[in-house]
A and B are shown apart, each in its own frame.
Chain A
Amino acid sequence: MMINEKPLLIGILSLLATDVLLPMKYIFTPILLILLSLTAYSQDRMFAYTYQSNVLNKGDFDFEFHNTLSTGKKGAYSHYIYGQHLDQRLEYEIGLGKNVQTAFYLNSELFNFADTASTDLNQEHKFSFSNEWKWKLLDPVANRFGLALYEEIEVGGSNWESETKLIIDKRWKRDILAFNAVKKYEIERVVRRQDNMTSSDWYRNSPVEFNLAYMHFLRPEIGIGMEMRENNAIDQDHGWINSVLFAGVAFHAQTGKFFINLTALPQLVNMHKTKAVPGNMDVDNFEKLEASALIGYSF
């Protein structure tokens, strides 16, 4: 099935101008402006997706603003409808000492979806709250490799999610290599629209992700590298049903206490071809492209 690009463009533009998103701008913009007016930094992340074992220094804290735009998924609501997904997270992260840090998130998820034969857009907007904990078990400089455990709980109006990560990384003088094994458990109310009929069901799944990232620092404040993400969909009834590999370029820069992490991840290959999804790409179940920008300020 050919994808009509017109709704895609309209969708992206509408994400920037929509009335639904405007309240978020009113919340986030003043916060970012306040942060800009403020003046050794510490941070625990160099990548947009892949985590490292480092934790914030005791008493340090930072604000991070995550933006992830996912697009190109045909089957967002049905096989005849596709959409874009803008995921925004505002994070307040605190180093507690004893190799532990915690963070609190406000999450906003905006879906734009349209029938491929029309330019009419529908929107769905969800808010949720998250709390994460990270515990560093091995330091990536002092030991052969760094090791940390991560747990995050997300609670929203129509979803509940837990995310457990095993984080392994290695830091050399000018290079970082990091690997995450991620197990999620999600309970989500999914709205379906077909033939002008809307219905919803509670849906449970437990995807497994593997993230691998490498970065080389050209200068202490500028790094360039790559991220790979293997995303595996696991259904309670059918087991392992889909698997795709995303990979793309990662960039990190910091100036003073500000830092930015950028990653663009196009879907490279469908790793689990089935009768239902026989092609080299699986855009029925996964996005064609994910682009993420993480902007942070460390105190």
Chain B
Amino acid sequence: MKRKLTVFPFLALLLLACSPTLYMPDSRDANTQPLLLEGRKLYVSHCSSCHNLHLPDEYTAITWSHNLDEMQSKAKINDKEKLLIFNYLTSKH
């Protein structure tokens, strides 16, 4: 019985091996990596507590700019932080 019950938890453990869907800037972006990492950190910390995160390629750069303008006051981010988030979200466009 216990053997059968391990099927589902085992499948759940497969999830643990996944990498984040929201891309992590790597060393290939050596010049911008620290700033992109900062932008990602700000995006996750300021946005995901209130709503589900969108993937960067879900919107164009123009739409991201509009979305960030609209959300700036709600997310309590200043202009510099907004730019860091924008650069991260559009760095793969």
Residues of A within 8 A of B (CB): 42, 44, 54-55, 57-58, 60, 95, 97-99, 139-145, 168-173, 177, 179, 181, 210-212, 228, 230, 232, 240, 243, 271-272
Instruction: Name B4's closest neighbour in chain A (CB-CB).
Output: A271
Report the Cα distance A141→B56, complex, angstroms. Answer: 11
Of the A-B pairs whose beta carbons lie under 8 Å apart in the complex, a sample of 21, sorted by A's number, is: A42-B51, A42-B52, A55-B52, A57-B50, A95-B51, A141-B52, A143-B20, A144-B19, A144-B20, A145-B16, A168-B12, A173-B21, A179-B12, A181-B8, A181-B12, A211-B8, A228-B8, A230-B7, A230-B8, A232-B5, A243-B4
Contact count A vs B, C-beta below 8 Å: 84
| Nearest CB on B from A5, distance (A) | 32
Given A57-B52, A58-B51, A142-B53, is A240 in contact with B1 using a C-beta cutoff of 8 Å?
Answer: yes
Any chain A CB within 8 A of the CB of B83?
Answer: no
| Nearest CB on A from B71, distance (A) | 11
Residues of B within 8 A of A (CB): 1, 4-5, 7-9, 11-12, 15-22, 44, 48-53, 55, 57
Chain B residues with Cβ below 8 Å from A169 are: 15
A243, B1: Cβ atoms closer than 8 Å: yes
Report the Cα distance A271→B48, complex, angstroms. Answer: 40
| Nearest CB on B from A85, distance (A) | 24
Report the Cα distance A72→B20, complex, angstroms. Answer: 43
